[in-house]
Chain A
Amino acid sequence: MATADAPLCFRTRRLTKIYGDGATAVHALRGVDLDLPEGEMIVLLGPSGSGKSTLLNILGGLDHATSGEFLFRGQDMSEAKQSALTRYRRRHVGFVFQFYNLMPSLTARENVALVTEIAEDPMTPEEALALVGLEARLDHFPAQLSGGEQQRVAIARAVAKRPEVLLCDEPTGALDSATGVRVLEALQTVNDQLNSTTLIITHNSGVADMAHRVVTFSDGRIGEVRQNAERTPPRELAW
């Protein structure tokens, strides 16, 4: 689906992020230049503290860069205000976290509806949950679902608004391998069917084989960007 000459979803230049100042300053990003085409599935690899989460947070509009340029579909987001960032997240971005972050007081269907109610052209909650294989668990509360099921509800919630971008921070970090594979399959289905640019942070280098593109981080910089000629289906990944 994705091709190298597709329009750019994200473009960053000399992107830096420094937490704190003076002697205690932590350089989380030290000048990141990255071009990510629309519709690709990209896996970000790297040890803890290498800057991948920081980048994801900036790309997702959760945080501001200290300096540098960040464009979303050609639009400069570097100086966007809080309200603009909220709008950006609301319209264009879907998030999936390691710990699901579902609303415990809402059922699977209602957790998805939470987002579809404020989106412009959403799918129905039932469609979104079917996409991740949870059509049978619509009216279950998070407490009644397994970890993998909860994560798939989180994916359904993230994709129900048909986002241009899907950002996943360690989506399988809290799951066993069999469950993890089901979650990755769900992510791949979404990427294939909705053409959402999908960024996945993981510690598990095996996951990289399912991506179009793999970006490796170390010490706040990009070490390597490689494209997979062949993508491995999640079921066949080395876990």
Chain B
Amino acid sequence: MSRRRLVLLRATDRKLLRDLRAMWLQALAIALVIGAGVSVHLLAVGMLSSLEQTRDAYYERHRFAHVWAPVVRAPENLMPRLRGIDGVQAVETRVRAPALFDLDDMSEPASGEVLSLPDGREPHVNRLYLAEGHLPAPGRRDEAVLLDSFAAAHGLEIGAQVRATIRGGRETLTVVGRAYSPEHVYAIAPGQLVPDDRLFGVAWMSREALGEMAGQGGAFNEAAIRLMRGVSEDAVIAALDALLAPYGAPGAYGREDQLSDAFLTSELEQLETMGAILPPIFLAVAAFLVNVVVARLIATERSAIGLMKAFGYSDRAVILHYLKFVAAIAAIGVAVGVAVGVWLGRGMAGLYADYYKFPFLVFQADARDYLLAIGVATLAVCGSAMISVRRAARLAPAEAMTPPPPPDYSRALGSRITAWTMLDQQSRMILRQITRWPGRAAFTAIGVATSGALLIGTLFFTDSMEVMTASYFNLANRYDLAASFVEPRGRTAYYSLAQAPGVVAAEPYRVVSARLRNGNREERAALTGAPPEAQLSRLLDSSGRSITPPPGGLVLSRDLAIKLDIAAGETLEIEITEGRRPTVHIPVARVVTTLIGSAATMEIEDLNALLREGPVVSGVNMIVDSSRLDALYADLKAAPGVAGVSLHRLAERNFRELMDQNMGRNILIYTGFAAVIAAGVVYNSVRISLAERERELASLRVLGFTRGEVSYILLGEIALLTVAALPAGALGGAALARFLASAMSSDLYRLPFIIRPGTFGFAGAVVLFVAAASGLIVRRRLDRIDIVAVLKTRE
């Protein structure tokens, strides 16, 4: 008995393998859609959890600070009082100074900073990960550890020398070590958008040595603090501000205002948003598609099911047989999805490692992520198969083996329209097929539309970023480079830079740190003073017109206005946290949308007046004759008062390179996924349609219809549905893009909701091409159809 059952089982398994082989293309199309869902899911959640875990481990192990408290100069003996603040776990005081690096391998100066390390011990907060070499010896003015990415970009090995201007003093430093720092995971100069390893440098030196250079002997100008678990950051910041106010503290801040962590967090939030939106869409589409396709596939197996039952197979055995069949498809899909997901994840981790400097970053998805992807895929496939197989298995064998009665079209929807006499009969057949099975038609159309929508919803990023970049770099900020001074300087400093070699145009700016308040809402911001009718750095309204702050008024960016819950016409309380530290009330004249960064801008003379200072400036924006750049760079590097140089044109180039690189890759990935979905839907729809209507189509060939005419009936339907799906896909894509634009916008930048017509065109072309190709593959089958054989078999 058991032996006979074994033999029978083997026969069904052989049938299963042969069925799979016979339908391999269909099975593959389904498997690939599942694979797309699984891989997008793994990629998104895996990348997110890899980055999060890496970040958390790195921050913890290297004691990344929670709060930074800058001051102008405070005595070291404040230390016990700092430590005594409630909730403070560890404090490290240090000296932090801006630096301009002068390197042999490039004419541009590299901006950056120098940070002190405690002499003779590891810091309690913000420990370095020393990749090679050793920490600077106590008191050595000439020893420095360099940020690994900066050293690598310039080929600076241990023992190499670097010239630097540190707070105006020229120093020559010897590289004694190369390190990673949790404070510089996203190593970026202020005002930049993407890291340029060559242009931003960080050096660590002995506390004693740097203290001397920066005029901070026995004192510090920044405290870095780690908090105890569960402590209110705001309370500690308030206590710090109270304690440090006499020492010129502009205000302590937490990780959300720490540049590197802010970028990293924003990236993770974006990944999380993407991970929360795209994979479920892909998995749902895959499940939906698989459900319908499997149901129709099994419907065509009706007589085989009847036959198996007639031979004495139980319902359970029949169901199991088909479950195995679809489980095999699901297994292929999951395997492909996991492989592609992990492969893409590794590639993506590599890209992240280029921009986010972790000492270690490995793409690793949790077992939970794998299980979820596999579970959803399996459930989708087997669940739908279960329903349709049970329906088929419920039929009595004799009934299942007889062909189903001809479908009754008299009850189809819209029979009046399809009876319209102008139609030829083939077109009528197409329309009736759609109106008779509206659910199927809708499925096909929805599947195609989803493919288009996903494509538009992802490609829109390119358009949005392009607008954002153009607005920021070409319209709002038109200068080539900006130089900032170590301390505010008189107008003469501006005039001397304006007359420096190669400078074609120059405009000064003044910037101070401030706290903006409205009621109980408070935001830290940089308050900028701009010259009237500024041309080089402007604020623009939504139609691109330049906005000038009116005398005595303030222009505020929309993100700040929203956070402060303030509108134009209302008055804002501003506490300037530098110098005399006045608190003033200033009316908000305009609120403007800035795509990158925030802005609180007023006229430079108003700001000077508020601060009761003379006509001083913080820095100068310049347009430069590119042929004389080198001379200008040499001047800037030699100028003692220049703290940093922001190379705006280079920043733009870097940003565009990054965009092209990432976008090109993303376009490829998402186009691939969308194509897989479109192909899966169209190929299976047409292929099953052919299986169901083979007899009808063969009959038409017998009646003397040409291959082309018969193909028209088969492919006309899918063509009509695809064309109908395009506008739906465009709308869906626009809705997705709109949602993503707001979901992905952060404090750092706001994605405008803009889709170029070309993007719609590209998405439409991809969908049409894939649909046409899938249809034509089936058409080749139709061309080879054996008319006589089809007519001989009874359904």
Is there contact, CB below 8 Å, between A62 and B704?
no
Residues of A near B705 (CB, < 8 A) are: 86, 90, 118
Is there contact, CB below 8 Å, between B703 and A104?
no
Q: Which of B428, B707, B795 contacts A105 (CB 8 A)?
A: B428
* Closest residue of A by beta carbon distance from B407: A104
* Closest residue of A by beta carbon distance from B702: A95
Flag whether A117 is at the interface (Cβ < 8 A): yes
Q: What 1/0 flags go to A86-102 for Cβ under 8 Å of B?
A: 11111101010101011
Is there contact, CB below 8 Å, between B794 and A62?
no
Residues of B near A136 (CB, < 8 A) are: none
B429 shortest CB reach to chain A, Å: 5
Q: Residues on A close to B: CB < 8 A? A: 53, 57, 60, 62-63, 83, 86-91, 93, 95, 97, 99, 101-107, 110-111, 113-115, 117-118, 140-144, 157
Is there contact, CB below 8 Å, between B436 and A105?
yes
Q: Which of A53, A107, A115 contacts B703 (CB 8 A)?
A: A115
Flag whether B661 is at the interface (Cβ < 8 A): no
* Closest residue of A by beta carbon distance from B429: A105
Residues of B near A90 (CB, < 8 A) are: 703-705
A100 shortest CB reach to chain B, Å: 9
A103 CA to B697 CA in the complex, in Å?
A: 9
Q: Which of A93, A103, A140, A142 contacts B704 (CB 8 A)?
A: A93
Number of B residues with CB within 8 Å of any CB on chain A:
33
Is there contact, CB below 8 Å, between B433 and A105?
yes
Across the A-B interface, give the 4 residue pairs with the lowest CB-CB distance, nearest first.
A90-B704, A143-B408, A101-B699, A105-B432
- Which residues of chain B (671-709) have a CB below 8 Å from chain A? 695-696, 699-707, 709
* Closest residue of B by beta carbon distance from A60: B702
Residues of B near A62 (CB, < 8 A) are: 702, 787-788
Is there contact, CB below 8 Å, between A141 and B704?
no
A178 CA to B408 CA in the complex, in Å?
A: 25
A95 CA to B406 CA in the complex, in Å?
A: 20
Is there contact, CB below 8 Å, between A143 and B791?
no
Is there contact, CB below 8 Å, between A141 and B408?
yes
* Chain B binding surface, main DSSP class: helix
* Closest residue of A by beta carbon distance from B703: A115
| Between-chain CB contacts (< 8 Å), 6 pairs | A89-B702, A90-B703, A104-B409, A105-B436, A117-B425, A141-B409
Residues of A near B408 (CB, < 8 A) are: 104, 141, 143-144
Is there contact, CB below 8 Å, between A57 and B704?
no
Flag whether B405 is at the interface (Cβ < 8 A): yes
Q: Which of B425, B707, B794 contacts A99 (CB 8 A)?
A: B794
A90 CA to B709 CA in the complex, in Å?
A: 12
A44 shortest CB reach to chain B, Å: 16
A110 CA to B409 CA in the complex, in Å?
A: 13
Flag whether B104 is at the interface (Cβ < 8 A): no
Residues of A near B407 (CB, < 8 A) are: 104-105, 143
Flag whether B410 is at the interface (Cβ < 8 A): yes
* Closest residue of A by beta carbon distance from B403: A99
Is there contact, CB below 8 Å, between A63 and B695?
no
A141 CA to B432 CA in the complex, in Å?
A: 12
A110 shortest CB reach to chain B, Å: 5
Q: What 1/0 flags go to B752-795 for Cβ under 8 Å of A?
A: 00000000000000000000000000000000000110011011
Q: Which of A97, A115, A144 contacts B791 (CB 8 A)?
A: A97
A146 CA to B554 CA in the complex, in Å?
A: 86
* Closest residue of B by beta carbon distance from A104: B406
A237 CA to B530 CA in the complex, in Å?
A: 109
Q: Which of B432, B709, B787, B788 contacts A106 (CB 8 A)?
A: B432
Q: Which of B410, B706, B788, B791 contacts A101 (CB 8 A)?
A: B791
Is there contact, CB below 8 Å, between B702 and A103?
no
Is there contact, CB below 8 Å, between B701 and A110?
no
B681 shortest CB reach to chain A, Å: 22
Flag whether B424 is at the interface (Cβ < 8 A): yes
Q: What 1/0 flags go to B427-443 for Cβ under 8 Å of A?
A: 01100110010000000
A99 CA to B405 CA in the complex, in Å?
A: 12
Is there contact, CB below 8 Å, between B425 and A114?
yes
Is there contact, CB below 8 Å, between A141 and B695?
no
Is there contact, CB below 8 Å, between B406 and A142?
yes
Question: A107-B419, A114-B700 are known contacts; what are 7 more A-B pairs with Cβ within 8 Å?
Answer: A62-B788, A90-B703, A90-B705, A99-B795, A102-B406, A105-B428, A142-B406
A93 CA to B794 CA in the complex, in Å?
A: 22
B705 shortest CB reach to chain A, Å: 7
A114 CA to B428 CA in the complex, in Å?
A: 10
Residues of B near A63 (CB, < 8 A) are: 788
B697 shortest CB reach to chain A, Å: 10
Residues of A near B428 (CB, < 8 A) are: 105-106, 110
